[in-house]
Amino acid sequence: MLSERQLQILESAKRSGRVLVDELAARFEVSVQTIRKDLNELCDARLLTRIHGGAILSSGVENVGYDARRVIAADEKTAIGRAVADIVPNQASLFINIGTTTEAVAHQLLRHSDLMVITNNINVATAMRPYPEVEVVIAGGVVRRSDGGIVGEAAVDFIRQFKVDFAVIGVSAIDPDGSLLDFDYREVRVAQAIMGNARHVILAADSSKFDRSAPVRIGHLEQVQTFVTDCAPPTIREICKAAEVRLIEAHPEPANGHREASASASRDDSR
């Protein structure tokens, strides 16, 4: 049996994807210890999953809504987007797949010139279309109503026509063993085609992906050349080191606007 406050917390998590201890304590005018107890009980019931400072909606079969995902770790995604944009030079060709983190990357790439961007992400195409320095090529296929992702065999066949310099991919979850996971097998097929037709694969994923699970396997972390995140756990650091994956931890800008990023492992970027 859940209390009325716990039911309201659960509804908040369903709307926004995550809840934070301090915000909940202020909203309900109770102590942070009381909120932590509520979250622990909701997590014990497998309704939520704890993250640092709060909890996220717990689901291994259904993703959080796209608009809600935009809010989750928004500052971290912006920092990741900047770090990825720093890797991609002008006059490059690249794939960008569906996801709120890859969408953040697209916004940071708008300062570049002479880019060719192939995407199955309507949101990316919409953001980049007005900029004359970016040629946008959009895949054909079934448009997923939930997030504007273009999926299906037609999209896979379209992607396979290209061989690009970079692929920027996002995922729904990263398993402790390094497996890259998602919810829709049709999207996974497109992501696999994108990875297989790029010379340099960049995985862009914020640290909340380490706290989640999803049922469909895209591939493994060792299949990418660069992984950009905001904070990687030790197990993931070890996987990157062993596979010679370049790990970049990009942190949100502090109040003084000073940017920070660190590379924890390296591999030959020419691959």
CATH number for the domain that contains residue 225: 3.40.50.1360
Domain count, the chain: 2
Q: What is the pLDDT of residue 1?
A: 73
Residue 228 clears pLDDT 50, i.e. is over it: yes
CB atoms within 10 A of CB 29: 7
Say if residue 19 is in the same domain as residue 82. no
- Contact in structure between 260 and 266 (CB atoms under 8 Å): no
Sign of CA dihedral 262, 266, 245, 66: positive
Least confident of 176-185, 226-235, 248-257: 248-257
Q: What is the pLDDT of residue 265?
A: 47
| pLDDT mean over 114-124 | 96
Helices 21-28 and 32-44, axial angle in degrees (round to 10): 120
Say if residue 171 is in the same domain as residue 51. no
Residue 216 clears pLDDT 50, i.e. is over it: yes
pTM: 0.77
Identify the band that residue 48 occupies on the pLDDT scale cut at 50, 70 and 90.
confident
CATH number for the domain that contains residue 49: 1.10.10.10
Least confident of 49-63, 113-127, 130-144: 49-63
Say if residue 91 is in the same domain as residue 197. yes
| Residue 40 maps to a domain | yes
H/E/C letters for each residue in the chain? CCCHHHHHHHHHHHHHCEEEHHHHHHHHCCCHHHHHHHHHHHHHCCCEEEECCEEEECCCCCCCCHHHHHHCCHHHHHHHHHHHHHHCCCCCEEEECCCHHHHHHHHHHHHCCCEEEEECEHHHHHHHCCCCCEEEEECCCEECCCCCEEECHHHHHHHCCCCEEEEEECCCEECCCCEEEECCHHHHHHHHHHHHCEEEEEEECCHHHHHCCCCEEEEEHHHCCEEEECCCCHHHHHHHHHHCCEEEEEECCCCCCCCEEEEEECCCCCC
| Residue 257 maps to a domain | yes
| pLDDT mean over 227-256 | 92
Question: In what order do the strands lie in the sheet containing 48-51?
Answer: 18-20, 54-57, 48-51
Q: What is the pLDDT of residue 57?
A: 74
| Residue 64 maps to a domain | no
User: What is the per-residue pLDDT across 164-183, written as a single tens digit (0 to 9) for each?
Assistant: 999 999 999 999 999 999 98
Least confident of 6-15, 60-69, 115-124, 258-267: 258-267
Say if residue 88 is in the same domain as residue 216. yes
- For residue 163, what are the domain limits? 69-265
| pLDDT mean over 234-248 | 97
Average pLDDT for the chain: 88
User: What is the per-residue pLDDT across 84-117, written as a single tens digit (0 to 9) for each?
Assistant: 999 999 999 999 999 899 999 999 999 999 999 9
**Could you give the count of Cα atoms lying within 13 Å of 81 in the half-sphere of its Cβ?**
22
Say if residue 202 is in the same domain as residue 225. yes
Identify the band that residue 257 occupies on the pLDDT scale cut at 50, 70 and 90.
low
Identify the band that residue 269 occupies on the pLDDT scale cut at 50, 70 and 90.
very low
Say if residue 179 is in the same domain as residue 240. yes
